[in-house]
Structure 1
Amino acid sequence: MPTRRSFLLTSAAATAALPLAAQTSSHAPTPTLPAPIAALKNRSHEAVPITLAERQRRVDRARELMARQKIAALCITGGTSLGYFTGIRSGVSERIFAWILPASGAPYIVCPAFEEARMTEQLSQLPEGAQTRIYTWNEDEDPYALLVKHLPHPGPLALDERVPFVYADRLAQADPSRKVVSGIPITAGCRSIKSPAELAIMQLANNITLSCYKAAFESATPGLTTAGFTALVDSAFAQCGVRGDVSCQTGEWSALPHGSIKPQVIRENQIVLIDDGCVLEGYVSDISRTFVFGKATDRQKKIFDIVHTAQAAALSAARVGAPCHVVDDAARKVVTDAGFGPDYKTFLHRLGHGIGMDGHEWPYLVRGNNQPLEVGMCFSDEPGIYLPGEFGVRLEDDWHLTESGGVMFTPTSSSLENPFA
């Protein structure tokens, strides 16, 4: 699951977690897993995949949104939204592959001719697959002209936000008379509201992540490198049958929200900050924990308590119909009132981001965002205080909005010394 912090994860992590003898011997046996990690069970089979019927409801919802905005068609190329609506997992290359959903009429696919057989065998798994046409192009032909040729008339063409500029530019040139607009109101309008099936997958992903963090914490000791701690979490994820990653920072480097590439060693009584999560059935978790091995100082405890209070205040502020910014406002007020403000002085980032099939997705909990909160929206709740040259504390859990308010997927951290109590 590549993320904004994946650059911190290198092959050195696996080596750093091994005993010194195993690191230096070319014939060393594969090390046994620490007991807390070995005790973890594969839980990936507990996830119930998204059904074809649910994907059809997503398509129906997209058409409703397109009709409201008088959009003729939605174009999605490779990426998360393609998987969301169709279940097709495809990246982006110099050759355009596109799934087009007209506001009325059957969807169609534009792909290279050599992909036709592969796409044909997947049609039965797509919403309206029996009605979906596949239009192919050879290497010396213009796929953009082919795509616009089959668009309904008239009306704008909406592009998913992840459509590369080169695709968008060529589509605009292929049909200068047609307006090309952002597809965010459609794709985010669908994806930002999670169904019960999506919430169930996300609940399991969060449960697995927290159990892996806990097992790694119980397996680690001072003197381990941060790369070694990352390797412990990687082993835990593998035991649970999921893919994931985690960044780990300690001491003064924990004051950098996305960490440092510098080699670090975990010392007794120093702050350790871990962050990220796993991916399960295409859905991700994102959890941060801050802790110490040993005894926390009074200053460390003070900062932790402020951040902990801010996290709770943010969740309490979440209510149906409230603008997104009030959640950020609530947490930032706690930090400022405690003397660590104003604004972004020590709380350097927004309170949270939407989460689902992408680690960061619409909508965002940030100052100035007046979008109303709706039942089924999912976010991170991650206030932090970062003190350059000292340490940083961030606490992050994912949550979703219900009619009665925000509900965390996981229990929040209890303390620096017992983060998983």
Structure 2
Amino acid sequence: MNPSDDVMHPGRRRFLQTTALGAAALPVAMLGTGAAASEAGSGGIKLPPSILALKPVTSRIVPITDDERRGRLAKAQELMEKAGMDAIYLDGGTTLDYFTGMRWWTSERLMGMLLPRSGDPVYIVPAFERSRALEQIRFGHDVRTWQENESPYALIAQLMRDRHVGTGVLGIEDKVPFFRSNGLAQAMPQVRLVPATPVTAGCRAIKSAAELALMQVACDATLALYKAIWQGLEPGMTQQHIASWVEAGYARMGLRGDASINVGSYTAQPHGSREPQVIREGTPVMLDDGCYVEGYMSDLTRTFTLGRASDKMKRVFDIVRKAQQAALAAAHPGATMESVDAAARKVIVDAGYGPGYTNFSHRLGHGIGMDMHEWYYLVQGNTRRIETGMTFSDEPGIYIPGEFGVRLEDDMHVTTDGARWFTPQSPSIEQPFG
């Protein structure tokens, strides 16, 4: 079993954070007309007309309904039955949001949900947080509280006994920290703790039409922002200029997001560098990352030059573009996930940039949805079969140490007759948006 197949990785690393994301998290309407009309970004950096032309996308956003979430809870219970689990425990975080709409980011104090195989969920919260939890709870009314001098683990153990599964099987979400799962194990030694991944990933990895629509808005917004950045760039600009534009551009669209920016030889490092970098004529620029729309994410990469690219850059770009196309063609229902990686890697190796991970040094892609990196992974060794409704990044790259790198990334969703990109493929390194 490939380790990446059953472990949802942490959120994406940020090598260059945009600043003051608090403002970018607010809809444009809440920023006020002065902020919306401002021609300067953070730090007083001037915004180009292309960034100022970005418009709110909020009218396209349709939130996930309570009816859909009820269906998710019912599906989870069906999967628990198949997997032989009597209940699952979820911490505050993305999966709790997925099933209930509660946006609660847990700390050392346990706040979570116990979902039994049948019946309504039970919420376990610190007593002093009860009223705040009730503001968000919409599914079920059973809220159990614990005081600071009490054990929340003992409370969950009692809940299991009350449901006559005190010697049963409890699924634990994979994002639950070790100290928490260890506390649960000690409080109920007769209960068998198992990964809840067959349930959590079993639900989240298959996207509904409503989820795909939110991801489409996110992908469209990121592509529009990248195009606006490219249109405004001039030689001599730094990462700080672009970071300010990213913040301002997403804010103008009523979203929040960020981007890593790498230039020249730093593009040969897949995740770049924090070293100061200056954009110059003819050097490659790599933009990567995405934004959030009602909890759903985009993840796009564009590599381009200002002005003319060298023949070698053009040739490498074309190889990566063909590899990306090969992966899309291979990503159909029933195909193994490793076969999609292999299809892209073959193009790159056959072009002389191999063997194996020599110049294409990472897996082809990852699942994406409410987390930028989630189940499952398009990587050698993962023999899991692709299913209709799954979503992945498609991001081959060629990285030549000391020179430059090219990565192209678009997100794709799998339909009954093959995979489709959310965004059009980049046509060339000099004209990345057509």
Per the TM alignment, residue 226 of structure 1 is displaced from its structure 2 partner at its CA by 2.1
Does the alignment pair 1:112 with 2:119?
A: no
Aligned AA (2:142): R
SS at match of 1:6: coil
Q: Distance in 1 between matches of 2:343 and 2:57?
A: 36
Q: Is the 8 A contact 2:95 2:200 kept in 1?
A: yes
Q: Distance in 2 between matches of 1:4 and 1:199?
A: 20
Percent of residue pairs identical? 52
SS at match of 1:385: strand
Q: Is the 8 A contact 2:18 2:246 kept in 1?
A: no
- 393, 408, 414: which is aligned to 1:401? 414
Per the TM alignment, residue 120 of structure 1 is displaced from its structure 2 partner at its CA by 2.1
- 111, 134, 137: which is aligned to 2:146? 137
Aligned AA (1:137): W
Q: For each residue in 1:231-287, what CA deviation from the matched residue of structure 2 results, as whole angstroms up to 9, or x when unmatched? A: 222221111110000001011100111110100001100011110010010000000
Per the TM alignment, residue 357 of structure 1 is displaced from its structure 2 partner at its CA by 0.1
- Report the CA distance shift for 1:11/1:51 in structure 2 as closer, same or farther (over 3 A): closer
Q: Is the 8 A contact 1:75 1:159 kept in 2?
A: yes
Q: Is the 8 A contact 1:227 1:248 kept in 2?
A: no
Per the TM alignment, residue 148 of structure 1 is displaced from its structure 2 partner at its CA by 1.4
Aligned residue pairs, count: 401
SS at match of 2:144: strand
Q: Distance in 2 between matches of 1:10 and 1:230?
A: 5
- Report the CA distance shift for 1:69/1:78 in structure 2 as closer, same or farther (over 3 A): same
Q: Which residue of 2 aligns with 1:167?
A: 180
Aligned AA (1:142): S
Q: For each residue in 1:155-174, what CA deviation from the matched residue of structure 2 results, as whole angstroms up to 9, or x when unmatched? A: 21001110011110000000
Give TM-score, length-normalised by structure 1.
Answer: 0.93
Does the alignment pair 1:356 with 2:369?
A: yes
Q: Which residue of 2 aligns with 1:371?
A: 384
Q: Distance in 2 between matches of 1:144 and 1:111?
A: 11
Q: Which residue of 1 aligns with 2:83?
A: 69
Q: Is the 8 A contact 1:9 1:227 kept in 2?
A: no
Structure 1 unmatched runs, 5+? 14-27
Does the alignment pair 1:102 with 2:116?
A: yes
- Kindly indicate whether structure 1 or structure 2 has the higher relative contact order, using CA contacts under 8 Å at least 6 residues apart: 2
- 1, 6, 19: which is aligned to 2:14? 6
Q: Which residue of 2 aligns with 1:19?
A: none
- 142, 149, 153: which is aligned to 2:158? 149
Q: Distance in 2 between matches of 1:211 and 1:270?
A: 22
- 269, 273, 284: which is aligned to 2:297? 284
Aligned AA (2:74): D
Q: Which residue of 2 aligns with 1:36?
A: 50
Q: Which residue of 1 aligns with 2:70?
A: 56
SS at match of 1:150: helix
Q: Which moved more, 1:348-357 or 1:317-326?
A: 317-326
Does the alignment pair 1:298 with 2:307?
A: no
Per the TM alignment, residue 11 of structure 1 is displaced from its structure 2 partner at its CA by 4.5
- 333, 344, 348: which is aligned to 1:335? 348
Q: Distance in 2 between matches of 1:141 and 1:337?
A: 62
Q: Is the 8 A contact 1:250 1:272 kept in 2?
A: yes
- 223, 226, 244: which is aligned to 1:231? 244
Does the alignment pair 1:83 with 2:62?
A: no
Does the alignment pair 1:190 with 2:199?
A: no
SS at match of 1:258: coil
Per the TM alignment, residue 121 of structure 1 is displaced from its structure 2 partner at its CA by 2.8
Q: For each residue in 1:283-340, what CA deviation from the matched residue of structure 2 results, as whole angstroms up to 9, or x when unmatched? A: 0000000000010100000110100000000000111111111110100000010010
Q: Distance in 2 between matches of 1:349 and 1:171?
A: 36
Per the TM alignment, residue 3 of structure 1 is displaced from its structure 2 partner at its CA by 4.8
Per the TM alignment, residue 92 of structure 1 is displaced from its structure 2 partner at its CA by 2.0
Q: Distance in 1 between matches of 2:157 and 2:59?
A: 42
Cα RMSD (Å): 1.7
Q: Distance in 2 between matches of 1:141 and 1:225?
A: 53
Q: Distance in 1 between matches of 2:394 and 2:117?
A: 36
- Report the CA distance shift for 1:375/1:12 in structure 2 as closer, same or farther (over 3 A): closer
Structure 2 unmatched runs, 5+? 1-9, 22-41
Per the TM alignment, residue 367 of structure 1 is displaced from its structure 2 partner at its CA by 0.6
Q: Distance in 2 between matches of 1:29 and 1:358?
A: 30
